[in-house]
Amino acid sequence: MGATCPKMLFTSHSNNSNRIMAIFSETELKEFAELQKRYGAPGASLLPVLWHIQEKRGWIDEAAMEEAAAICQVPKAHVRGVVEFYTMFFDKPMGKYHVQVCTNVSCMLRGGEKLLAEMKSKIGVENLATTPDGMFSIEEVECMGACGGAPMMAVNETFFETITNEEAHGVIDHIRAKNEIPTPRFVAQMPELSEAANR
Ligand code: FES
């Protein structure tokens, strides 16, 4: 039996297939097809499909939600619910460096709210806003699963655990000066991980 053509995975939704084919490249369709093979049911691949879209476009707009719904064969309302539930998905453009500060219980007890206030002041924007140059945005988030490292702050996918206010200022200063996210302190203390992070 020959390999499944990516197009074939989407032709059962003929109303959407032409539009999807016009939006995504052949390479992207192959990637989605691979994902859907790995996840079994089309709907089960929704999270990686959304992540793929966000990585390519920076955020997930209404049209992208429709595309994801068609690809994963789920209602658009379901896609919207997923995008709104997970803080890792953005339904509007955010900064190149998206700073997330946790203020849930563990982090709150260890200074998360003060850290958030410091970062808002440092970056110069309020919650869920982006700086005029598009470099930074900030978001107050609920538990990011790193409670043992409270208080924690994340910049894009890099987590800074047990971070002090002074260190957080240093992270922003480093990004402003070098246009890159610094290696988190706790990673730098572990040689094997530090090596991997710097590769
Ligand atoms: S409470 Fe902050 S990471 Fe869990």
- Reported as a single tens digit per residue, the pLDDT across 24-63 is 778 887 888 888 888 888 899 999 989 988 888 889 989 8
Residue 102 DSSP SS3: strand
Compute the distance from residue 120 Cα to the ligand 1 centre, in Å: 19
The reported pLDDT for the residue numbered 164 is 95
pLDDT at 88: 86
Q: Binning pLDDT at 50, 70 and 90, where does residue 64 land?
A: confident
- The most confident of the ranges 3-12, 29-38, 49-58, 135-144 is 135-144
Task: Answer whether 162's CB lies under 8 Å from 199's CB.
Answer: no
Cα–Cα distance measured from residue 65 to residue 137, given in angstroms and rounded to the nearest whole number: 22
Q: Within 13 A of 31's CA, how many CA atoms are on the CB side?
A: 13
Structure tokens at 85: 């539930």
Q: State the amino acid at position 195 in one-letter form.
A: E
Residue spans of the domains in the chain: they are 6-85, 97-197
- The helix-helix angle for 165-178 and 112-123 (nearest 10°) equals 30
Using most ligand atoms within 8 A of CB, pick from 144, 161, 163, 186 the residue to mutate for ligand 1: 144
pLDDT band at 23 (very low <50, low <70, confident <90, very high): low
CATH for the 97-197 domain, from 1.20.1280.50, 1.20.1440.230, 3.40.50.300, 3.40.30.10: 3.40.30.10
Segment among 19-28, 84-93, 129-138, 178-187 with least mean pLDDT? 19-28
CA max distance for the chain: 61
**DSSP 8-state class, residue 190:** S
- Residue 112 CA: which ligand 1 atom is closest? 2
88, 100, 101, 107: residue to mutate for ligand 1 pocket, most atoms within 8 A of CB:
107
Q: Please work out whether the CB of residue 104 comes within 6 Å of at least one atom of ligand 1.
A: yes
The alpha carbon of 144 and the centre of ligand 1 are apart by a number of angstroms equal to 5
* pLDDT at residue number 162: 95
Is 0.85 topped by the overall pTM? no
- Indicate whether 160 pLDDT > 50: yes
Mean pLDDT score, 117-129:
97
